[in-house]
Every structure is written in C-alpha cells, then in structure tokens.
Amino acid sequence: MDNIILEMRNITKTFPGVKALENVNLKVRQGEIHALVGENGAGKSTLMKVLSGVYPAGSYEGDIAFEGEVRNFRTITDSEHVGIIIIHQELALVPLLSIAENIFLGNEVQSGGVIDWAQTFSRTRELLRKVGLNESPETIIDDIGVGKQQLVEIAKALSKRVKLLILDEPTASLNEKDSDALLNLLMEFRNQGMTSIIITHKLNEVRKVADQITVLRDGRTVETMDCHAEDVSEDKIIRNMVGRAMEDRYPPRSVPIGDTILEVKNWNAFHQLHSDRQVLHDINVKVRKGEVVGIAGLMGAGRTEFAMSVFGRSYGQRISGEVSMSGKPVDVSTVRKAIDAGLAYVTEDRKHLGLVLNNNIMHNTTLANLAGISNASVIDDIKELKVANDFRSRLRIRSSSVFQETVNLSGGNQQKVVLSKWLFSNPEVLILDEPTRGIDVGAKYEIYTIINQLAAEGKGVLMISSEMPELLGTCDRIYVMNEGRIVAELPKGEASQETIMRAIMRSGEK
C-alpha cells in the first residue's frame, strides 16, 4: 500500500446556519502533489484551515492523521511544529521589511533577543538559492513583484523544515512565466521527496503537476482521481466540479426585451497602483431594456474592476473607452456623473463599500439621492422617513424600525438596504456585483424576485456572480470574462456550467 502522510477522515465543519464541510475525506500520499479543486465556496479553503489549526481541534468533527498519528491542532503554531505549512492566497509578508526579515519573522536567528544578522543573511541566501530567487536578502518586499514574493513565502516555509506544503491558489495573481517557474519548483521539490497540496482553479496546471486530484463540491468530497492510474480529462474534472442538480430556486420571468440601454465600447483600464499593468482589455458589453445580463468568471477575472471603473472611475487608472446610454454617449468620469447618467453599482463588499455601518437604515437608504428628499439642501425628514419605510416594506427588510443601525442587520438584510439605496437613486441600469454573496437561500430568492421586478419595469441589469447556477437561473445572456477579457458571450440557450467553464479554461491555456 502507498505510504499515506496525511489522512483527513469524515471532517464536518459547521458555521452558524451553514454546513461548510460534510464528511470530507482526503488522503495524501508521501511525496506527491495533490490538487484540490472545486468551485468558489466548495469548501477548499475551509478544509485547509481545519488542517492547519486556524479552526482549532474541537470546533469540527472528524480526525486528522498526520504521519500515522491522530493530531489535534489548536493553533497554526501546532501544525507548523509538525511540518505542515500553508501559504495563503493573500501573501502574509510585511511589505516594508526586507526578504531576510520576512523569512525569519517570529523565528529570528537570535540569542538573548539580539539578532545574528550574519547568520540570518547567509541562511536566507541559501534558502533563496533553493527556490531559485536571485535577489539580495536585504531587498525590500515592496520592491519585488508578486511572483518573487510568492517564492519568498516558499523560502519562508522551507526555513521551517516543511514536510507538507499547502499552496492556496499560488498562481492566481502570477503571469504565465512566473506560474511556470513556480510549478517547476514544486515538481523539483517532489523529486526531493516533499509533499504538497495545491488549491487551484487552473485545470491545465492541475493536469501538468498533480499526481492525484480531489474534487470538492458544496462541502463534500466528490471523487479522488489518480492521474497515473487513469487519464483524467479536463471535462471530467469540470463535470465533477459543477455537476449539481438544478433545483427550482429561481423565480420565472417573462419580460419582453427592448432596445439597447447601456453600451460599453473598447473599455481598457490599468491597475490602480501599477500603471503598467493592464487589467481590462478591450471590453465590449451591451445591456438592453428588461434584460438581465450576467458576467461569469473566476475570482480575479477583472469583473469587479470592470464594473467599478465604469462607475465613475472608482477603480483603475489610464481608463479609456466609451459608455453610452440609449445610444447617447455619456460622461461617467465621476460617481456623481455616473449616477446622473442612470447607472447604479451595488457592490460585492457591502460592509466596506456599500453601507455606512454606524448609520441607520433610513440614512443609508437615502445617501445616494439626498436631493430626492430635500429642498434647497434642507432635508425633509418626513419625506425621508416615508421613503425609508416604503423600501423597508417593499424589500421586506427585517428590522425593528428604519432607525436601526445597519451594523446589527443580517447579511441578507444589509444587502437589501444597499439595494434600497440604489433603487431610490432611480437608475436605468443596475450593476449588481455578487448580489447574493453570503446570504441565505430565502433571502436569495427575494433578491432574484427584486431583479425580476426591475427587468419588468424596463430597467437593465448587469449581474456579476461567481455562482454559476445563479447566473444560469436568472440571466438572459451571459458574458464570460477571464484575465481582463470577455472570452465568450452565451445566450441563455447555449449557456451551461460546462460551456462557461470550458470558455474560461480554454482562454487560460492560450
């Protein structure tokens, strides 16, 4: 029998109201690269947090056996102690410290609190050589690119005598060359006998490096496939990832679709901070009256960046392109102008970008359209109260009154307050960014109903979502986006989870 280094047995992890993991099993063999794949929210990251002790023993059910022994990790330090090291998608480096300082942060080469710099630098140089990074140990992290930062993270892991290395989407923000270098490094480590688990969305990478693939879906293990025993095709992986039964979770809609209301032409934008990194390439999008249009894509595909750059240049720089409403070019260079042109953007990040949390429901509802409740800058508070009460009952916002602070509302109700705000601004086209993220099934259905009402009123809806069933269930047409480009446009009849996934994967391989 193979030598099993890690076995996770019947792991079940529950959050209030949600079962994030249910009887998940994972077996990793000594010296292999094990790929963990699944849709956003399938439970991959949760599983790795269970493994590394972020969720301590006792907060989940099931066993973790590492090197044949059952382990109960209470903190990350416990798991690092036995040699399990996890590198998160958001790198945990201190930007203004040097490479050497970062590698030995919390683990300094020292005696009596005094750092031995000579030893630190020589050990850092040795580690950097192992990961193939040709930089001085004194270089500041901010001065090197993301790809190199990723290598520093790996060097940091190596400094801790790693036995099992876990990488959460290590190539998500890397370009092709850096990705290749990283994958080659992993394969080299495998030859030296190290075990790693890699979480990724890029199936071509999976096929390139993985010895075994475990697919998670809705918090359950679907299948573990051995790449050496059988030929695992991308189609098979995709089917396993998305193959869930479609239920009747979406209210039906029959709205006649009218003329084009929003058109974005040749839209280009560069990264907010790095002005030489283009994040959006020649995007062309149309939305018609009464139409619900989806934008599908993986995290980091540039969907939010697109929406925010159109909405008053709230993201990016060196933006170029044209926006027209009902055939007339409009100026959307500030948020105010975008709102006046008839746009509204309902953010994916309602806590940071959507709500003023310590203000009440009423004040949040009217914030984007204070002119609508005031005369000569003086607020008509009776009118404001009426407006807020009206939206509260229309959208069924469950709260004690409109004077309740939004910080105390549930996610679904917070989302409804954000929606109220933008509905009150009376837009022609609403851009909804992950409108149902983190809210329960009942509230989701209500949001879909609101979307249908908007379409029935002749408004256009552009919906960004990472939940493909949601897009398929609600949209008349779906754009597929990947790496800052529109890579496919699928009418309702042709769109399926397979066609969307395939469009993404194919474009990534080019």
The minimum distance between CB 236 and other proteins, in angstroms, equals 42
Name which of 79 and 366 has its Cβ closer to other proteins: 366
273 binds other proteins (CB under 8 A): no
In angstroms, how far is CA 121 from the centroid of its own chain? 36
Contact flag: residue 435 with other proteins (CB under 8 A): no
Give the residue with the Cβ less far from other proteins, 204 or 314. Answer: 314
Q: Which is nearer to other proteins, 204 or 359 (CB)?
A: 359
What are the helix (H) ranges across 223-262?
234-242
CB of 366 to other proteins, least distance (A): 8
Nearer to other proteins by Cβ, of 175 and 334: the residue is: 334
Does 317 interact with other proteins (rule: CB under 8 A)?
no
Applying CB under 8 A, does 353 fall inside the site for other proteins? yes
Q: How far is the CB of 303 from other proteins (least distance, A)?
A: 17
Buried b (16+ CB within 10 A) or exposed e, 38-51: bbebbbbbbbbbbb
> For residues 249 and 247, what is the distance between their CA atoms, to the nearest angstrom?
6
- Stretch in the footprint of other proteins (CB under 8 A) among 133-141, 149-157, 348-356, 482-490: 348-356
Among 287, 269, 250, smallest CA distance to 429 is for 287
Q: Residue 450 CB, nearest distance to other proteins (Å)?
A: 19
- Nearer Cβ to other proteins (51/308): 308
Span interacting with other proteins, options 70-78, 99-107, 243-251, 307-315, rule CB under 8 A: 307-315
Q: What is the DSSP string of 328-381?
A: EE---SSHHHHHHTTEEEE-S-IIIII--TTSBHHHHHHGGGGGGGEETTEE-H
Q: Which of 49, 421, 437, 459 binds other proteins (CB under 8 A)?
A: 421
What is the rounded (10 degree) CA torsion for 16, 18, 22, 25? -80
Give the x/- contact pattern for other proteins in 373-392, rule: CB under 8 A: -x--xxx-xx--xx--x---
Contact 80, 160 (CB under 8 A): yes
| Per-residue binding letters, 57-96, with other proteins (x by CB under 8 A) | ----------------------------------------
The answer to whether residue 338 forms part of the interface with other proteins (CB under 8 A) is yes
Contact between 20 and 13 under an 8 Å Cβ cutoff? The reply is yes
Q: Give dist(CA 315, CA 307) in Å, integer.
A: 9
For 272-294, give one letter per residue: b (16+ CB within 10 A) or e.
eeeeeebbbeebebbbbbbbbbb
Angstrom distances, CA of residue 103 to CA of 130, 183, 339: 14, 21, 47
Smallest distance, other proteins to C-beta of residue 480, A = 26
CA distances from 395 to 365, 369, 480 (A): 12, 18, 30
- Choice from 76, 140, 319, 335 touching other proteins (CB under 8 A): 335
Cβ proximity to other proteins, 386 vs 492, nearer residue? 386
Cβ distance to other proteins smaller for residue 192 or 393: 393
The nearest distance, CB 422 to other proteins, in angstroms, is 9
Q: Is 330 in the site for other proteins (CB under 8 A)?
A: no
Among residues 505, 320, 310, which one has the least CA distance to residue 427? 310
Output the furthest CA–CA distance in the chain (Å, rounded): 81
Q: What are phi and psi of 188, to 5 degrees?
A: -65, -45
Which residue number, 24 or 355, has a Cβ lying nearer to other proteins?
A: 355
Report the 3 state secondary structure along 404-450. CEHHHCCHHHHHHHHHHHHHHCCCCEEEEECCCCCCCHHHHHHHHHH
Minimum distance from residue 397 beta carbon to other proteins (Å): 16
**Helix, strand, coil percentages, rounded to 5, for the chain:** 35, 30, 35
If binding is defined by CB under 8 A, does position 15 make contact with other proteins? Answer: no
Rounded least distance, CB 348 to other proteins, Å: 12
Contact residues toward other proteins (CB under 8 A) are: 311-312, 314, 334-336, 338-339, 345, 347, 352-359, 363, 367-368, 370-371, 374, 377-379, 381-382, 385-386, 389, 401, 403, 421, 425
